[in-house]
Amino acid sequence: MIIDHLEEPLPGSSLRPTPAGSAYTDPAIFAAEQADIFEQLWNCVLRADSISTAGDWKKVTVGREELIIVRTRRAGIRAFYNVCQHRGMRVCTGDEGRARKLQCGYHAWTYALEGELVAAPNLTAMPDVDRREYGLKPVHLREWLGYVWVCLAAQPPDFDTEVLGEVRTRFGEVESIDNYGIEHLLLGETKTYDVAANWKLIIENFMECYHCATIHPELTEVIPEFADGLASQRKNGEVHGSSFGEDIQGFTVDGSAGVAALPAIAPDQDRKYYAITVKPQVFINTVPDHVIVHRMFPVSQSRTIVVCDWLFLPEVIHQSLPIEKSVELFHRVNQQDFEACELTQPSMSSAAYAGGGALVPSEHHIEEFHTWWRERLRGESRVAA
C-alpha cells in the first residue's frame, strides 16, 4: 500500500514529524491525491464573471479531468467533461471562447450550451439516439463568493456543510466571512504563478507564519505580530485576525493607505488581516479594503499552478482608483513564499529528508492538515479502488 511508510505524529514533543519526503515526490501518491482528494471534493475553478455572456466558455483542469465551464442561455453556468460522447475527441480546443453551440471538430457532433446533443451528421436517420444520454457529461457546480466551484464526485460532499459551514465557522471571532460581500467585488488584478513545488508544500507554507520574519519583510512591517513567528491567526483552533501595526494605514506594500474599507465589515474586522485555507485548493485572505483569493491547480507531484486574484469594490475598479500598492504587497508575499517552496521541493527526494522533517510548536496545527490528508488517502474511495 503506497501510504504505509507515512509517519504517524508523536504527541507530546516540541518537534513533531512531517510526512516523509516521498509524500511530496512519489507519482503514485500524487495519483492517489488526484483520485481521492481533488476528484472527490469541491474545487474553486474560476470567477463567474469571467464568463459573463451566454456562450462564453473556459476550460479548466480538475484532478486528471479537463472540463468546460460554460454560461448557458437558460440554465446559468454549467460544467461538463470536455469529452465528445461520439468517439471521445476534445470538444473545445483552446483555453476559452464564445460559441452558440459546442461542436466537436472530428465528426461534427454538436451540443447545446446546456449539454444536450442537438445535431450530428445523419442524426435524423438515427431516431433511437437519446439526445440527453449522448449529451456532454455534466459535473456538479455551485457558485459562491463570485466563483464557480465544481465537484467531480458522483455524490459530492454537501457544499453547505463542507465548504460554507466550515469557512463561516472558522472565520473566528467575527460572525462570518459574509461581511466582506466577496460575491459583489470585482477583479482588480490576477496573477498566475507556475510553482515548481508539490501542492502540500504550498498549503503548509500558507498555514504557518514561522517563516514570516525571515522571508516577508514587507508583510511583517504591516503586521508586526507576524514577526513573532506565531500563526497568530489561529488560537484555540479558530482563525483570529492579525492586527496592522500602529503606524500602518493600509494593507499596502509600504503601509500607506489603501482604498475605502468594504462597507459592511465589523469593527473587529477593521485594521485586521484574516486568512483561511479551504481545503483542498483555496486560500482566502481578507483585509479591510480588499480580498485576495488563491486557487491551486496541482499539475504533478512537483508542479502546481496558483492563480491569485485581488478583489475590490466595484467603484474602486470603475473609477480606476490606485490598487497597485495593495496588489504589490501580496504579490511579493506570493513570490517569497513560492520561492521558498521551490527551494524546498528538490530536498523532498534527498536521502537526508527520507524520514521527513519537523514541525515546531507554532506549526503543530499543520498536523491537522496532515491528518486530513492521510485520512483522505485511506478513505473508502481508495480502498474500493
- Per CB under 6 A, residues contacting ligand FES are 84, 86-89, 104, 106-109
Q: DSSP letters along 159-190, please? A: HIIIIIIHHHHHTTTSS-GGGG-GGG-EEEEE
Q: From the CB of 211, what's the least distance to Fe ion, in Å?
A: 6
Euclidean distance between CA atoms 115 and 109, whole angstroms = 12
Q: Is residue 337 a contact point for Fe ion (CB under 5 A)?
A: yes
Residue pair 231/308 in contact (Cβ under 8 Å)? The answer is no
Is 88 or 355 the residue whose CB approaches ligand FES more closely?
88
Q: Which residue, chain included where needed, has cell 504533478?
A: 300
> Which cell numbers in the block locate residue 384?
474500493
89 binds, among ligand FES, Fe ion, none (CB under 5 to 8 A by kind): ligand FES
To 5 degrees, how large is the angle CA 55–CA 59–CA 65?
135
Contact between residue 45 and residue 22 where contact means Cβ atoms under 8 Å apart = no
CB of 105 to ligand FES, least distance (A): 7
Minimum CB distance to ligand FES smaller for 81 or for 330: 81
Question: Which of 36, 337 has the CB closer to Fe ion?
Answer: 337
Closest approach of Cβ 271 to Fe ion, in Å?
Answer: 20
Residue 109 binding result from Fe ion, ligand FES, none, given CB thresholds of 5 to 8 Å by partner type: ligand FES
Say whether the peptide bond before residue 17 is cis (omega within 30 degrees of 0).
Answer: no
Instruction: State which residue, 114 or 337, has the beta carbon closest to Fe ion.
Output: 337
Measured distance CA(230)–CA(207) in Å, rounded: 11
Please identify, using beta-carbon distances, which residue of 35 and 104 lies nearer to ligand FES: 104
Task: Provide the mask over 2-41, with x wherever binding to Fe ion is found by CB under 5 A and - wherever it is not.
Answer: ----------------------------------------
> Could you tell me the end-to-end alpha-carbon distance of the chain, in angstroms, rounded to an integer?
12
106 binds, among ligand FES, Fe ion, none (CB under 5 to 8 A by kind): ligand FES
CB of 138 to ligand FES, least distance (A): 17
Taking the complex as a whole, the smallest distance from the CB of residue 311 to Fe ion amounts, in Å, to 20
Residue partners of 51: CB distance under 8 A and separation at least 6? 57, 58, 69, 70, 71, 77, 96
**In whole angstroms, how close is the CB of 117 to Fe ion at the nearest point?**
48
Q: In angstroms, what is the minimal distance from the CB of 39 to ligand FES? A: 23
User: CB under 5 to 8 A by kind: which of ligand FES, Fe ion, none does 262 bind?
Assistant: none
Choose among 296, 229, 299, 286: nearest CA to 258. 286
Residues that bind Fe ion (CB under 5 A): 337
